[in-house]
Amino acid sequence: MITDIRPLKEALEAAVPRLVAVRERGQTFVVSIPVAYPSGALAAAHISLSGDQCFVSDCALGLREAEMSGASDFFDAAAKDAASLFGVGYDGASLFVASAPISRIEGAIVAVANASASAVGRAVLRAAEAKDRKSNSVLFDLVSDFFGKANVSRKAEIAGRDATWEAHNVVTLDGQQAVFEFVSDHQNSIASKFQMFSDIVKLDERPSLTSVVLSTEKMSKKAHMLIDVSHVISMDAGKETFSRYARIAA
């Protein structure tokens, strides 16, 4: 039996023009391509011609995306890394290819778009990690007030069934350990803590495991996965709640 592939071919031929859009702005062309920023917005390359060479730039679109995501402080370093990775230039605001032959314009467009999106993704991730470090520091002070600083380690190696993990805010009371990890709504924060707790919870004798979030009432759907591998409490739960979960294994 021979499958008729014509409907698929027609569908693809119709879809491709919708994936890539070209707009003319005076002497510049703007090409939108299906490379997404963390916000979901699509990357775009601005192209101008000088002689037989093209200048291709994201026109600081990546920087603006980072600013809107609250990650502008981390964009510069992330953009330098992305520029090196994708072989493009970076001038402190825009990622670009300064001189691309017309015959190779598609490669320059793809490189700039990917570098721009990668830079924003890296910046957003680093911003989230910095926020987690700050929140874990606040949580350390809180837990130290509740249990006494001598009983709390800012970081400690905790063995799971298959790996050893660096845990934060580890309380030791009468030989029993309790881990209080801050978890933000960023998917990397959720995923990393879920992975760690999933391994530790497999042990018969394990520390108490608690995910501490800003608000249990405003947790994302993804964050609810943590309930399967740990206790989950709000940062403002109070000493009584923290003390109770410190003595209950997850």
In this prediction, residue 247 has a pLDDT band, given cuts at 50, 70 and 90, of confident
3-state SS, residue 118: helix
Domains and CATH numbers, the chain: 18-128 (no CATH), 148-246 (3.40.1350)
Q: pLDDT tens for residues 162-179?
A: 999 999 999 998 888 999
pLDDT of residue 130: 92
Q: pLDDT tens for residues 56-115?
A: 999 999 999 999 999 999 999 999 999 999 999 999 999 999 999 999 999 999 999 999
Average pLDDT, the chain: 93
Across the beta sheet with 95-101, the strand order is 21-25, 28-36, 42-50, 53-57, 95-101, 89-90
For residue 248, the 8-state DSSP code is: S
Q: Which residues pair with 96 in a beta bridge?
A: 57, 89
Tally of helices (H runs) and strands (E runs) in the chain = 6, 11
pLDDT at residue 250 tops 60:
no
Nearest to 113 by CA among 32, 24, 27: 32
Query: How far, in Å, CA of 123 to CA of 118, rounded?
Result: 9
Q: pLDDT tens for residues 209-224?
A: 999 999 999 989 999 9
pLDDT of residue 19: 85
Q: Is 152 exposed, middle or buried (0-12, 13-18, 19+ CB in 10 A)?
A: buried
